[in-house]
Amino acid sequence: ALRVANQSAWARDAAVPALPPMPDGLLEMRRESKVIDTRRDAAAAPGVRRLSARYDRPYLMHGAIGPSCAVALMAEGQLTVWTHSQGVEPLRTAIAELVAMPADRVRCVHREGAGCYGHNGADDVAGDAALVACAMPGVPVRLQWSREQEHGWEPLGPAMLAQIDATLDASGRIVNWRHQVWSNTHSTRPVAAGDLLAGVEVVPPFVPTPPKPIPQPNGGGDRNAIPLYRFANQSIVSHFLPDMPVRVSALRGLGAHLNIFALESAMDELAAAAGRDPVAFRLAHLDDPRAADVIRRAAARFGWSRYRPRPNRGRGFAFARYKNHGAYCAVALDVERIPDEGRLIVHRAVVAVDSGEAVNPDGIRNQVEGGVLQSLSWTAYEAAGHDGTRRTDYDWSGYPILRFADVPHSVAVEVIDRPGTPFLGTGECAQGPTAAALANALAAATGVRTRSMPLAGGLATRS
- Spans of the chain, pLDDT less than 50: 460-463
Structurally, how many domains does the chain consist of? 2
**Tens digits of per-residue pLDDT, 380-415?**
999 998 887 788 899 999 999 999 999 999 999 999
**Tens digits of per-residue pLDDT, 117-145?**
999 999 999 999 999 999 999 999 999 99
Asked if residue 42 and residue 100 are part of one domain, the reply reads no
Q: Look at residue 437 and tell me if it is in a domain.
A: yes
d(CA 277, CA 23): 31
pLDDT at residue number 460: 47
Asked if residue 163 and residue 139 are part of one domain, the reply reads no
d(CA 389, CA 398): 17
What is the spatial order of strands in the sheet that 32-39 belongs to? 32-39, 233-240, 174-183, 160-168, 49-57
Asked if residue 319 and residue 227 are part of one domain, the reply reads yes
Asked if residue 384 and residue 307 are part of one domain, the reply reads yes
CATH number at residue 297: 3.30.365.10
Q: Look at residue 195 and tell me if it is in a domain.
A: no
Q: Is the pTM of this model over 0.85?
A: yes
Q: Look at residue 209 and tell me if it is in a domain.
A: no
Q: Look at residue 358 and tell me if it is in a domain.
A: yes
Q: Look at residue 302 and tell me if it is in a domain.
A: yes
pLDDT at residue number 97: 98
Asked if residue 400 and residue 357 are part of one domain, the reply reads yes
Q: Look at residue 273 and tell me if it is in a domain.
A: yes
pLDDT at residue number 17: 66
User: Domain range for residue 364?
Assistant: 24-61+156-186+221-461
Q: Look at residue 243 and tell me if it is in a domain.
A: yes
Asked if residue 368 and residue 284 are part of one domain, the reply reads yes
Asked if residue 247 and residue 148 are part of one domain, the reply reads no
Which strand (E) or helix (H) includes residue 27?
helix 24-28
Q: Look at residue 382 and tell me if it is in a domain.
A: yes
d(CA 256, CA 320): 9
CA trace torsion 274, 279, 280, 282 (10° rounding): 80
Asked if residue 162 and residue 144 are part of one domain, the reply reads no
pLDDT at residue number 339: 84
Asked if residue 422 and residue 344 are part of one domain, the reply reads yes
- Phi-psi domain of 267 (left: phi exceeds 0; alpha: psi -120 through 50; beta: other): alpha
Q: Please say whether the beta carbons of 269 and 256 come within 8 A.
A: no
Which strand (E) or helix (H) includes residue 327?
none
Q: Which of 153, 175, 205 is the last residue of a domain?
A: 153
Count of other CB atoms within 10 angstroms of residue 332: 30
Q: Please say whether the beta carbons of 24 and 234 come within 8 A.
A: no
Asked if residue 163 and residue 146 are part of one domain, the reply reads no
For residue 455, with 0-12 CB atoms within 10 Å meaning exposed, 13-18 middle and 19 or more buried, which class applies?
buried
Asked if residue 419 and residue 328 are part of one domain, the reply reads yes
Asked if residue 45 and residue 90 are part of one domain, the reply reads no
d(CA 182, CA 255): 10
pLDDT at residue number 427: 87
Residue 163 backbone dihedrals phi, psi, to 5 degrees: -120, 125
